[in-house]
Chains A and B, each alone.
Chain A
């Protein structure tokens, strides 16, 4: 069974430029998460979807970040414009709902210069 697939693995952009990350969850998983992981820290939730609905986006900086999950499968996370402080690893995970374990992709390492 294929795991969570994220692309790209690495991205370097100049500040003020836009960037997008893509995630394909495990087939059949209705819950999808985007997490942000800064160096030396644990992941922190940006947004959580149940099917197409964003059920928790309270920590998503909505002035520059947006996300969508079309048809309740793949998801895209966008930053526009990127700032230096956005340099981090962006992790996507999927699961089967409340209380179950989430499975993570390899992440996208973003460097903003």
Chain B
């Protein structure tokens, strides 16, 4: 079975603090894809990053960085020097052939509140 677990329901930080959002996944696929999406209060899911299972290089994009570790089945997301505009719900998702047709399996999301 495929599953994504985001154990942190809600996190509150003060502006400029660093914060890491955890994502743990389960899959029997050898080839699969991992994603992070941001859902601000407006409701639209905004794509942030895609990773395939053969690429374990960490990635940095501005204040955002991602740590993919196959050994622990984790794909964690860190925001450095958080800002109020980072406040949103963040979803981790998994896609692969075991899901049937490469549909996205989403976690339950982590609500991030960045306080000024």
Interaction A to B:
yes
Chain A interface residues toward B at CB < 8 A: 33, 40-45, 48, 55-56, 58, 89, 91, 93, 97-107, 109
A43 proximity list for chain B (CB < 8 A):
45, 91, 104, 106
Chain B interface residues toward A at CB < 8 A: 4, 31, 33, 35, 37, 42-47, 50, 52, 91, 93, 95-97, 100-104, 106-109
Contact A41 to B44, CB < 8 A, known contacts A48-B101, A58-B100, A100-B50: no
Q: How many A-B residue pairs have CB under 8 A?
A: 60
Contact A45 to B103, CB < 8 A, known contacts A99-B52, A99-B95, A100-B50: yes
Contact A44 to B106, CB < 8 A, known contacts A55-B101, A56-B100, A99-B52: yes
A106 proximity list for chain B (CB < 8 A):
42-44
A58 proximity list for chain B (CB < 8 A):
100
CB contact between A48 and one of B33, B50, B103, B107 (< 8 Å): that residue: B103
CB contact between B106 and one of A42, A89, A100 (< 8 Å): that residue: A42
Q: Are B43 and A101 in contact (CB under 8 A)?
A: no
A38 to chain B, nearest CB (A): 10
Nearest CB in chain A to that of B95: its residue: A99
